Each structure stands twice: as C-alpha cells, then as structure tokens.
Amino acid sequence: MDALGRDRADFEVNPLRVFHSIVLLASIITIVAFPAVTEGHAFPVRSEPRVGWTIGASPQKVTIWFDGELEPAFSSIVVYNSTKQQVDKRNSRVTGSDNSVLEVDLPALGTGIYHVYWKALSKDTHVTEGDFTFTIAAKGQ
Amino acid sequence: MKQCFLMLLSVLFSLLMVAANTHAHGVIGKRFIPSTLTLEDPFPSDEMDLFTFSRAPKDKEGRETSFGFEFAKRLTPDLALGVGWEYIFFDPREAGERRTSGAGNPEFSVKYAFLRSIAHEAILSAGLEVEAGGVGSKRVAERVTTISPAFYFGKGLGDLPDSLNVLKPFSITGSFSVNNPANRFTGSGDDKERNVTNLSYGVALLYSLPYLQSAVKDVGLEAPLDRMFPVVEFNFETPVSGPEKRRTTAFANPGLIWAGKYVELGVEAQVPMNNFSGKNVGVKGLIHLFIDDIWPNIFTWTP
C-alpha cells in the first residue's frame, strides 16, 4: 500500500514502453555527449602495403592510417627483415592533415618477409601498438 | 569521525584527479577485447553500460525481463570500482498469478588485474561483487545480501605460430565466482526462505575481425564488418547446497558485438542447454560507452 491507499503490487508497467523510453533516453544521452568528444584510442584503419599481403616490388614506404589524431613524439613504425635487422630509413613520422597517418621510408628491399611494428599514442595519451607482416616476392611467384 | 570521513573522501578524489598515460578498456598488447554481454570481462576499465536488456528463457517459475545500467571507474590502472542496477519485470508461470515488476538490488564490485602479459595477450584479475539484498523491490529482488569473490581471465591467441594464422584473431575470456548468501535463511513462518550458495562460471569465445584485418591479413572488410566480433558465451550456475544441489543451469549465448571508437553495441541469443535452464530462447542487448575515450579529460584519471 502506498500513502494514498493504492496497492502498489497491482501497479503494472508495460516492459515494451519502458524499453522504448530507455532506448530514447540512451539515444539522447549519446547525441548530447558526442559533441564533447575529442580523442580516443587510435586504432589502425588500413595500411600500405596491406597487412599480410604479398607484393611484387619493394614499396617506397610503409604507411598506416589511423582512426584518430596521433602524438608525433611518441608514435613510430619500425620495419625488420626476416633476420630481425631493422631495414627502414629510421625516419618514422606522423603526417596527414589531421595527424592520423604514420609512415616510414624504405630503401629498395629484396624478396622476403618483412615485419612492421607500430606504436601510437593518441592525443589523450592512450597507447595502442601492433605488428603485421608483408611479403615481397619476385614477379611470377 | 566526520572529519576522517571527509579526509578519506578528499584523498580518494585527489587520487582520481591525477592523470596517467596508460592503456585502458579491454586493450592488452595489440589485442582489444570488448565487454561481453553475459560474463564479466577481466579488464578494470572506465566504462558504462548505458543500457542492458535481457529477456530470459521461461523457466519453472516464469519469465524475467530486465533493463539495467552499470558504471565502472578505475582508481589505478589495475583497480576499478563498479556499480550496477536493474529494473525487473516478472511473468509468473502459474495461471492466476499477476505480472509484477520492480527495482532489483544494487550491485557493487571491485576488480583488480594482478597479471598482464602483453606478449601473450593475457590478463588475470580477481574481484569481489556484492549484491545489497533487501534494497530493491520485495516483489522481484532477493532479500538476502550476496557476497561473491570472483576470478577472471582473458587470453588472445595472437602468439600462435604463423602456420595457425587463421586462429590468431580468437580470444577466450572467462570468469568463476562463488555466490555466498550473507544469511542462510531470510523471512519467518510461511515466508521463510532458504538461501543457497551457488557457483557461477563460464567462458566466452570471440573472433576479432579488427584483429584479422590489422594484424593477420587485410581481407578487405568494409564498415560495419571491420569492427565486428562474432561471439559465443557459455555460462553455468551450480547450487552447492539446498534441495537443488548440483542441478546446474547452463546457457549458450551466441551473438554479435560491434565496437566503434566510442560505443559498443551487442546482441545475443540465450539458449538453454538443459531442462533445468528453461525451454525457449531468450535475448540480450547492450549499449556500452567507452567513457575514457568520450570524455578523456574527466575519465582518464588514475594515480
């Protein structure tokens, strides 16, 4: 019984209406919250050479596009050959109009498997890291 | 006493206000593991389940539908506190009994990650969950407080040999908890109820399409598939005392999770795996916010 003498046990709420109300409320909160969005974790979107692909000629550089702005001083790429020797030109840099592209130049490389290691610090100090390989094969292989 | 309390609060607040340069939600090495819908994940995180929805299979007592909310905040990179709450609707199985609804009990949790291996994409955590009995509506909530020490783990398969590349995007998470009622009996007379100890445990198997794309082989997936995680969770509950001792309820929960930069969405079916678990299929949903990414200046505080 409540203060007005009604039996609250008989009070029924329609779950479907509550579901609609909560989804509406969640949507409003999400929409209102997002103009305040600044940065977040930076994860790779794509790369060139593409992850795990085999290509027919040495690329001039390795480029990784990220989904957020990077902090140049703490973001880098290193490329190793199959004997774990660093083969890039050690000039890893952040580029792009929104500082979301990480790249490093390469010399002319021979055939073989190459390992790319990257580390990215987003503007809000979240660190992400990863690695992948690409293969250079003689044409016709 | 009051001054001590205020001092403790101010110290806690000061700790929270200090920023740190660290990993956050669900990231271990190059692996991101999203929050799962059924089992608690092993990561202490700054995160918010803005909305959870569950319509459970019909069991011997009836069918429960619930809407919930959960919030967790790290105090250090490895320690987080959380609070959750649900509103529950209950449809009794017996004819003549009326549908009822009400607030569930609030649940409080603490989680500490005591081991992380970036090379092996592995994390081990321990935690304590407390459901504050008798706080919610008497119609739907338990009257007894439950204290549950818990253990959580997560492991990515990225350290498999290259010959097993196709398996590298898989990750496994799991949890094990002992749910102890604070009192053996609650109520009196006809209303007396025996409270039993339960074991809750389960594993989740996830396949990360983002991991496949960015670490194994770029297979050319476009949005929204490039941020998708097919998942299946298996969860079990076994009473270790009382008349239903060792009658394990078991569910398989296949589903899909999509994790964007700031929001995670998930949906799962809840399939009973034996007669004790119910008869038809239930459904679960989740809207989860990465609040440390949405409001980094507010929620990336840790000492």
Q: How many CB atoms lie within 10 A of CB A107?
A: 9
- Asked if residue B4 belongs to a domain, the reply is no
Total number of domains constituting chain B: 1
φ, ψ dihedrals at B4, nearest 5°: -60, -45
Q: Which residues of A touch B104 (CB under 8 A)?
A: none
Q: Do A22 and B300 touch (CB under 8 A)?
A: no
Query: Which residue do the tokens 């880098």 mark?
Result: A76
- Asked if residue A8 belongs to a domain, the reply is no
DSSP 3-state of A37: coil
Q: Does A46 touch chain B (CB under 8 A)?
A: yes
Model confidence band, residue A34 (pLDDT cutoffs 50, 70, 90): very low
| Closest CA relative to residue B65, chosen from A17, A67, A9 | A17
pLDDT in tens, A84-108: 999 999 999 999 888 899 999 999 9
| Closest CA relative to residue B45, chosen from B187, B154, B208 | B154
The top-scoring range by mean pLDDT among A10-24, A106-120, B10-24 is A106-120
Q: Does A48 touch chain B (CB under 8 A)?
A: no
Q: Does A131 touch chain B (CB under 8 A)?
A: yes
Q: Do B89 and A15 touch (CB under 8 A)?
A: yes
Model pLDDT, residue B10: 43
Q: What is the pTM of this model?
A: 0.82
Which phi-psi region, left, alpha or beta, contains residue A16 (left: φ > 0; alpha: ψ -120 to 50)?
A: alpha
- Asked if residue B235 belongs to a domain, the reply is yes
- Asked if residue A60 belongs to a domain, the reply is yes
- Asked if residue A14 belongs to a domain, the reply is no
Residue A115 has pLDDT above 90, yes or no: yes
Q: Can you tell me the distance from the alpha carbon of A100 to that of A122, in angstroms, rounded to the nearest whole number? A: 9
- Asked if residue A92 belongs to a domain, the reply is yes
- Asked if residue A13 belongs to a domain, the reply is no
- Asked if residue B3 belongs to a domain, the reply is no
Q: Can you tell me the distance from the alpha carbon of B223 to that of A4, in angstroms, rounded to the nearest whole number? A: 55
Helices (H), chain A: 15-33
The answer to whether B133 and B121 have CB atoms below 8 angstroms apart is no
Q: Do B50 and A124 touch (CB under 8 A)?
A: no
Residue A27 has pLDDT above 80, yes or no: no
Q: Do B261 and A51 touch (CB under 8 A)?
A: no
Q: Can you tell me the distance from the alpha carbon of B9 to that of B4, in angstroms, rounded to the nearest whole number? A: 9
How large is the ipTM?
0.74
Model pLDDT, residue A21: 65
Residue B243 neighbours by CB under 8 Å, 6+ apart: none
pLDDT in tens, A42-85: 889 999 999 999 999 999 999 999 988 899 889 999 999 999 99
| Closest CA relative to residue B117, chosen from B146, B158, B63, B147 | B158
Model pLDDT, residue B270: 96
Q: Do B216 and A37 touch (CB under 8 A)?
A: no
Total number of domains constituting chain A: 1
- Asked if residue B8 belongs to a domain, the reply is no
Token reading at B112: 């500490």
Model pLDDT, residue A37: 41
Token reading at B213: 């794309």
Q: Per-residue confidence of chain B (303 residues) as pLDDT tens digits?
A: 444 444 444 444 333 333 333 445 788 988 999 999 999 999 998 888 878 999 999 888 889 999 999 999 888 889 999 999 999 999 987 777 888 999 999 999 999 999 999 999 999 999 999 999 989 998 888 889 999 999 999 999 999 998 999 999 999 999 999 999 998 888 777 778 888 999 999 999 999 999 999 999 999 998 899 999 999 999 999 999 887 887 899 999 999 999 987 889 999 999 999 988 988 899 999 988 877 766 666 665 554
Q: Does B91 touch chain A (CB under 8 A)?
A: no
| Closest CA relative to residue B128, chosen from B103, B116, B145 | B145
- Asked if residue A12 belongs to a domain, the reply is no
Q: Does A30 touch chain B (CB under 8 A)?
A: yes
Q: How many CB atoms lie within 10 A of CB B256?
A: 13
Dihedral (Cα; B14, B20, B23, B26), 10-degree rounding: 10
- Asked if residue A54 belongs to a domain, the reply is yes
DSSP 3-state of B208: coil
Domain enclosing residue A121, as ranges: 44-136
Output the CA angle B17-B22-B28, nearest 5 degrees.
140
- Asked if residue A1 belongs to a domain, the reply is no
Domain enclosing residue B188, as ranges: 17-299
Q: Does A132 touch chain B (CB under 8 A)?
A: yes
Which phi-psi region, left, alpha or beta, contains residue B97 (left: φ > 0; alpha: ψ -120 to 50)?
A: beta
Task: Give burial (CB, 10 Å; 0-12/13-18/19+) of B135.
Answer: middle
CATH number of residue B225's parent domain? 2.40.160.40
The answer to whether B45 and B26 have CB atoms below 8 angstroms apart is yes
CATH number of residue A67's parent domain? 2.60.40.1220
CA Rg value for chain A: 26
Residue of A nearest to B294 (CA): A37
Q: Which residues of A touch B19 (CB under 8 A)?
A: 125
DSSP assignment of B27-76: EETTEE-PPPSSSPPS----EEEEEEEEEPPP-SSEEEEEEEEEEEEEEE
pLDDT in tens, A120-138: 998 777 888 999 999 999 8
